[in-house]
Structure 1
Amino acid sequence: MMSEETFPLPQNEMQRLLNLSELDLDYSELFEEFKDLAMLAAKIAGTDISLINLIDSYTTWTISGYGLDIQQVPREESLCQYTILGEPQFEVSDLTKDQRFENKDFTKPPMSLRYYLGVPLTGPEGYQIGSLCVVHTQPKHMSPEKIEMLKIIANQVINRIQTYRAINELKGQLKNANVTKSKVAHDIRGPLAGIIGLSDIIVQQGNENKLDEVLEFIQLIHKSSKSLLELADEILTEDQQNKKLAQNEVNLRVFKCKLEDLYGGQAKNKNINLEIEVIEGNTLWAFPKNKLLQITGNLISNAIKFTPENGRVKVELSLIEQKDQHLLDLKISDTGVGISAEALKHLEEGSNSSTKGTSGEKGYGFGLELVKHLVKGLGGFLDIYNVVGSGACFNVKIPFQKQAF
């Protein structure tokens, strides 16, 4: 088992994770957005491989790359965890001659990696949320000029991330405008239908009593109301025809597939059965995915970490319709060692204490604290408890405004 020093942490780790979570990125959707920058980095560096990585509590996520088909690695096994410690870059000329990496699988066939250079992806607030790295199968050393060029590319990655986020926010605002449009159409349709019905009755009465002047005004009301009703129907018909998920939305079906895609590999690598089920709710109801992947992903990674080989991690998804709102109910349970009274106390007090996982993985100590912060920010609730005869269970409940559907 490796020593604690093998797994470094930035001094501002909690703030760094909060900064990354605020970007609210879906790591599975970004490959095409950044593949040109990844290829350019490899060409400039003269290396076989280049990767653009974002690093959260438990995982190093490759959002795009060149020369290596990879989506994620456990954070403690990644080279890029050393790149985000505050230095301008991190370079290892020969990985087999560095005691930190000489026995790692990536230095052995079939990968046989020798060289690594990472430059941090530093956001406007100064937090290093990830790394642009170049990797080669032969030892080498990068010139200062090429390193500066790679830093320019890293800055461009950050610029694109910021642009991507801004576009998604605009799409969310447009979606809200469309929801408001639909609501207004619904709200005016009922009263208008009533006015038209009433005017029909008055017209009939007027014809029988020969009230020509009254009839003229009533017919004008009838005509105007009918035109507005047709407009409301047109708006609603258009809204139904264009009913599809916006960029910032998911439904239970899509959410389930995303979680399987993102975290199935982690479970498989540890021989853990990851079960994700929809328990309750219309699978096609749309709801905002704001911070949900960060919340659920951290809890799944934590459960995998503390579940022994051949164990089970179960994720239950429910979307419950209530009188004034919808409630997203998430349960993540495992067959691991459970949560000690001391650990529960640390979580309640907000301290960042952590323990090792079932295979000796280092506990980074910030993942669950981040989840607490994000859930609270969404107006939700987090309940943590042990299941008798099993492991731990994390129950997250997040309310959504009904009009968002």
Structure 2
Amino acid sequence: MLSENPLPKNELERLLKLSELDLDYRDFKESFKDLTKLAAKVAGTEISLINLIDSYTQWSVSSFGIDLEQMPREDSVCQYTIAVPDDVQGFEIKNLASDERFKDKFYVKSDPNLTYYFGVPLKISDHINLGALCVLDKEYQEITPEKKEMLELIAGEVVNRIRIHFAISQLQSKISESNQVKNKVAHDIRGPIGGIIGLAEIIQMQGDSNKLGEVLDFIKLIQRSGKSVLELADEILSQDYGKEKKKLPSAQELTLETLKAKLSDMYAPQAISKSIKLEVTYKDENADIPFPKNKLMQILGNLISNALKFTPLGGKVNVTMEMEVLDLEKILRFEVADTGTGISKEKITEILEGRAESTQGTGNETGFGFGLNLVTHLIQSLKGKLHIESKPGEGSKFKITIPIKE
């Protein structure tokens, strides 16, 4: 018998791999549409889903036969699928209504009144499951081993497309970076070469009236300009832009404006379910300047989910964002503030040291104990800083500062 709310043994490693891919969960609806339909046809079920599971939420990135985008991780069946041993062929529940773990779930007690479930892990590498491909039905189904094997093949294709999506994003980033390098080179070389041409034109225009001393001075200037071009060429050739790219792991870009839209769309349903007012705002200055995605969706998403978890019905969660543009870097500042239960000094220390443990939310939500640890790890990996202001019973403010080098 599997325990309630199981966790993969390598849960933090799994979450880090998911964050490394830096996926936008809304990108896959169309690209996976054919696979969800195929899975349902193979299994003979009414419904199929492709689910990715993070610290708090199951994201249905593609669906067939049902309109579903997300649900709390603790309510999902797929949380069991990602925890099955590697030698087990998926996870199957023949009657959800008679299983103590699922009989009271909303999708069993009310529409769509589901009965049958079979899920296959989405295995990105040995022992790491990003989520699950699952098929469901209102009636009992009998899926043969051959069909289960076919579903595993479809799950493998899902993972292949995720890998391709990531590779294309990385390539787009390299192309963008190459264009930036090209523009920089063109700008830096244009000045010295323009100076050389200008001096040569002066000598040509003055013709016979040129004095030897002036000509020698012009030649010295030309030599200096030419030398600076050679030095610049040497500098360009000696730089390894591939290594510099590793400092920016994200292939995609955001602006404060687009980031606000994504966060509002993705986390509003969680807020509405608890009658919490979620407000995401940004300062207009520099709001349209692009910056690398750099796992910001994972960082802010986990903080928002955590704030919603610990804020009672009717409370508020405010997310504020701003960017400061300096000569050699941009500074991103974020704040996630809530009117929730607050945090003790001891708990704040645990969070900042990356050893936070699971606790139960105000709506009896299950905590998995990895969301804030993941946030701490990701912020540190970006050379950022996390500051927490809170007192028990007075809400919390999570303040993040992340530098982005030009």
Regarding TM over 0.5, the answer is yes
Residue of structure 1 in register with 2:253 after alignment:
249
Residue of structure 1 in register with 2:32 after alignment:
34
Q: Is structure 2 residue 359 aligned with structure 1 residue 361?
A: no
Q: Is the CA contact 1:380–1:397 (under 8 Å) kept in the aligned structure 2?
A: yes
Aligned partner of 1:332 among 325, 330, 336: 336
Q: How does 1:3-402 map onto structure 2 within 5 Å?
A: 6-87=4-85, 88=88, 89-206=90-207, 208-209=209-210, 248-279=252-283, 281-386=285-390, 390-402=394-406
What's the secondary structure of 1:26's corresponding residue?
Answer: coil
Q: Is the CA contact 1:298–1:368 (under 8 Å) kept in the aligned structure 2?
A: yes
Q: Deviations over 1:14-70 (max 9, x none)?
A: 111112111111111111121111111000001111000010000001111111111
What's the secondary structure of 2:302's corresponding residue?
Answer: helix
Summarize the Cα distance change of 1:96–1:385 in structure 2 as closer, same or farther, 3 Å threshold. same
What's the secondary structure of 1:106's corresponding residue?
Answer: helix
Q: Deviations over 1:60-108 (max 9, x none)?
A: 0111111111111111111111111123311111111112111211113
Percent sequence identity is 49
Aligned mates of 1:391, 1:199 — CA distance in 2: 70
What's the secondary structure of 1:371's corresponding residue?
Answer: helix
What's the secondary structure of 1:103's corresponding residue?
Answer: coil
What's the secondary structure of 2:52's corresponding residue?
Answer: strand
In structure 1, what residue type is equivalent to 2:323? L
Q: Deviations over 1:300-348 (max 9, x none)?
A: 1111111111111111111111232111111111111111223223223
Aligned mates of 1:293, 1:65 — CA distance in 2: 22
5+ residue gaps, structure 2:
230-249
In structure 1, what residue type is equivalent to 2:325? E
Q: Is the CA contact 1:380–1:398 (under 8 Å) kept in the aligned structure 2?
A: yes
Task: Give the C-alpha shift of residue 114 in structure 1.
Answer: 0.9
Aligned mates of 1:264, 1:175 — CA distance in 2: 33
In structure 2, what residue type is equivalent to 1:358? T
Moved more, 129-138 or 379-388: 379-388
RMSD: 2.4
Aligned mates of 1:183, 1:257 — CA distance in 2: 32
In structure 2, what residue type is equivalent to 1:19? K
Summarize the Cα distance change of 1:361–1:388 in structure 2 as closer, same or farther, 3 Å threshold. closer
Summarize the Cα distance change of 1:309–1:97 in structure 2 as closer, same or farther, 3 Å threshold. same
Task: Give the C-alpha shift of residue 203 in structure 1.
Answer: 4.4
Task: Give the C-alpha shift of residue 201 in structure 1.
Answer: 4.3
Aligned mates of 1:108, 1:273 — CA distance in 2: 28
Task: Give the C-alpha shift of residue 12 in structure 1.
Answer: 1.6
Residue of structure 2 in register with 1:243 after alignment:
none
Aligned residues: 371
Q: Is the CA contact 1:94–1:140 (under 8 Å) kept in the aligned structure 2?
A: no
Task: Give the C-alpha shift of residue 274 in structure 1.
Answer: 0.9
Aligned mates of 1:97, 1:165 — CA distance in 2: 41
Aligned mates of 2:211, 2:199 — CA distance in 1: 18
Task: Give the C-alpha shift of residue 141 in structure 1.
Answer: 2.6
Q: Is the CA contact 1:259–1:297 (under 8 Å) kept in the aligned structure 2?
A: yes
Q: Is the CA contact 2:315–2:340 (under 8 Å) kept in the aligned structure 1?
A: yes
Q: Deviations over 1:346-379 (max 9, x none)?
A: 2234324121111111111100111111111112
What's the secondary structure of 1:28's corresponding residue?
Answer: coil
Q: Is the CA contact 2:352–2:376 (under 8 Å) kept in the aligned structure 1?
A: no
Q: Deviations over 1:247-298 (max 9, x none)?
A: 6111111111111111111111111111111125412211110211111111
Q: Is the CA contact 1:303–1:333 (under 8 Å) kept in the aligned structure 2?
A: yes
In structure 1, what residue type is equivalent to 2:62? S
Residue of structure 2 in register with 1:241 after alignment:
none
Q: Is the CA contact 1:48–1:67 (under 8 Å) kept in the aligned structure 2?
A: yes
Q: Is the CA contact 2:335–2:397 (under 8 Å) kept in the aligned structure 1?
A: yes
Aligned mates of 1:252, 1:188 — CA distance in 2: 34
Task: Give the C-alpha shift of residue 133 in structure 1.
Answer: 0.3
Q: Is the CA contact 1:86–1:128 (under 8 Å) kept in the aligned structure 2?
A: no
Summarize the Cα distance change of 1:388–1:327 in structure 2 as closer, same or farther, 3 Å threshold. farther
Aligned mates of 1:39, 1:207 — CA distance in 2: 83
What's the secondary structure of 1:6's corresponding residue?
Answer: coil
TM-score (norm 1): 0.86
Aligned mates of 1:273, 1:391 — CA distance in 2: 14
Moved more, 274-283 or 300-309: 274-283
What's the secondary structure of 2:188's corresponding residue?
Answer: helix
In structure 2, what residue type is equivalent to 1:278? Y
Aligned mates of 2:349, 2:336 — CA distance in 1: 20
TM-score (norm 2): 0.85
Aligned mates of 1:139, 1:72 — CA distance in 2: 24
Aligned mates of 2:283, 2:121 — CA distance in 1: 41
Q: Deviations over 1:108-138 (max 9, x none)?
A: 3321111111111111232111000001011
